[in-house]
Amino acid sequence: MSNENRRIVLKFGSSSLTSPEGGLDRSKIEYFAGEIARLHARGEEQIIVSSGAVAAGFRHIGYKSRPKLLHEKQASAAVGQALLMQAYNEALSRYGIGVAQILLTRSDFSNRKRIQNAWMTMQELIRNRIIPIINENDTVSIDELKFGDNDTLSALVANLVKARLLVIITDTDGIYTDDPRRNPQAERLTRIDEINDYIWSIAGGAGSSVGTGGMRTKIGAASIATRGGIPVFIGSASEEGDIAMAVNGTGKGTYFSTDADSLSMKHQWIGFHSDVKGSIMVDDGAADALLHLGRSLLAAGVIDVTGDFQPGDVVEVVTKDGVTIGRGVVNYASQQLQAVRGLNSDEVMRRVNVTRPEVIHRDEWIAFAAH
């Protein structure tokens, strides 16, 4: 086979695999298995990110609807994940295709060794033509660190494996100018070249009783992947050949082009993988300098500091209104910064012993899209 990148990440949402009242929809899984087999036969390397564990499992526990409490969701996922894998295994074994389960948490991505191990495992599976099926490890995920939806997870996986395309399959055939469930006049956008404020403004929450993130988390995922240099498709698939068409560029949905200045590995690390150790509140001038003027953050613009961090840690930067505007590598310990916040750089250098005057250097900063 040539060196051409044949790797694709396919994400299937709960709404595409389960029925609205809960439980797996076998016919949907069989349909996806047929689509996966078709791509497999033409030599594509597929990595699947599949939701559906909670939706598949909650009725087995006796809950009437998708649970809201964390421990109930975790119990449902523990039951449902086994059912989900069993269903994939049965459906794909008919085509002679083997599957493997990989469960990841957000903290796995912030630990270089663990995520590299996960990647090496995936490569070995791919070499042996086994399809990795990834889900969040719901049993051990802590509420505030949960992906929750699998859209973000699929984008991080696509960046990790350097996929040539991220395909997010959902129950709607793309991004519309408004939630099409509520507004029948809404029109589909077939191509999005820039994820700007308008795109964020049209994306609403989940449409079904089993889905979680809605279009907002899908746009967030598209933002992460396209900034990592990976194009994204978001749409639906229900007929034979639909997923192959999505991969070929003629799918029923919306395509996102890669960001013109995609992020380096270092910046992807800062922005999407690292553990955030604290937060720095800045004034309007500093926010403007970081977001619009391409400048570094100086102590003069710092209003407040929370968390316990050391030089070299990644921190979040928030405005007075509590909006997170980005993340960067901090050059001060939290206590040092607390002592010099609001002061000019000469005064700062007289008072604390730091290697560089910038609190966050502009080269070690990534801005988040407004949303």
Ligand X SMILES: N[C@@H](CCC(=O)OP(=O)(O)O)C(=O)O
Ligand Y SMILES: Nc1ncnc2c1ncn2[C@@H]1O[C@H](COP(=O)(O)OP(=O)(O)O)[C@@H](O)[C@H]1O
Task: Point out the residue whose Cβ comes nearest to ligand Y.
Answer: 13
Is 11 marked as a binding-site residue?
yes
Question: Which backbone phi and psi does 280 adopt, to 5 degrees?
Answer: -120, 125
Instruction: Go through the chain and tell me how many residues it has.
Output: 371
Nearest Cα residue to 337 out of 302, 289, 294:
302
Position among 32, 88, 176, 256 found at the interface with ligand Y (CB under 6 A): 176
> 255 burial class (0-12, 13-18, 19+ CB within 10 angstroms)?
buried
Q: Does 212 bind ligand Y (CB under 6 A)?
A: yes
Helix, strand, coil shares of the chain, percent, nearest 5, are: 40, 20, 40
| 207 is a site residue for ligand Y (CB under 6 A) | yes
DSSP string, 159-184: HHHT-SEEEEE-SSSSEESS-TTT-T
Helix axes 150-161, 112-127, angle to 10 degrees: 70
136 binding partner (options ligand X, ligand Y, none; Cβ < 5 to 8 Å by kind):
ligand X
Question: Does residue 309 belong to the site contacting ligand Y (CB under 6 A)?
Answer: no
208: contact with ligand Y by CB under 6 A: yes
DSSP reduced 3-state for 65: coil
Interacting partner of 223 out of ligand X, ligand Y, none (Cβ under 5 to 8 A depending on kind): none
Nearest to 59 by CA among 21, 14, 18: 21
| Single residue of 6, 78, 82, 204 touching ligand Y by CB under 6 A | 204
Kindly list the residues in this chain that would bind ligand X in the complex (CB under 6 A): 13-14, 51-55, 77, 135-136, 138, 149-151, 211-213
Does 220 bind ligand Y (CB under 6 A)? Our answer is no
Based on the number of CB atoms within 10 Å of its own CB, is 106 exposed (0-12), middle (13-18) or buried (19 or more)? buried
Residue of 175, 222, 243, 286 interacting with ligand Y (CB under 6 A): 175
Nearer of residues 148 and 271 to ligand Y, judged by Cβ: 148
Cβ-contact 251, 269 below 8 angstroms: no
Residue type, 20: P
The stretch near ligand Y (CB under 6 A) out of 10-18, 80-88, 89-97, 300-308 is: 10-18
44-83 footprint of ligand Y as x/- string (CB under 6 A): ----------------------------------------
Q: How far is the CB of 252 from ligand Y (least distance, A)?
A: 12
Contact flag: residue 159 with ligand Y (CB under 6 A): no
Q: At 50, is the secondary structure helix, strand, or coil? A: strand
Give the one residue of 14, 152, 154, 336 binding ligand Y; rule: CB under 6 A.
14
Amino acid at 291: L
Q: Does 178 bind ligand Y (CB under 6 A)?
A: yes
Instruction: Please indicate if the annotation marks 213 as binding a ligand.
Output: yes
Q: Which is nearer to ligand X, 154 or 159 (CB)?
A: 154
Cβ-contact 314, 274 below 8 angstroms = yes
Please give the distance of CA 158 from its chain centroid, rounded to a whole number.
Answer: 9
**Nearer Cβ to ligand Y, position 235 or 328?**
235
- Please pick, from the candidates 130, 202, 291, 367, the single residue that binds ligand Y as defined by CB under 6 A: 202
Q: What distance in Å separates the CA atoms of residue 308 and residue 65, rounded to the nearest whole number?
A: 41
Question: What residues form the annotated binding site for ATP?
Answer: 11, 170-171, 212-218
Q: Which residue ranges make up the site for ligand Y (CB under 6 A)?
A: 13-16, 170-172, 175-176, 178-181, 202-204, 206-208, 211-215
Indicate the annotated binding residues for substrate: 51, 138, 150
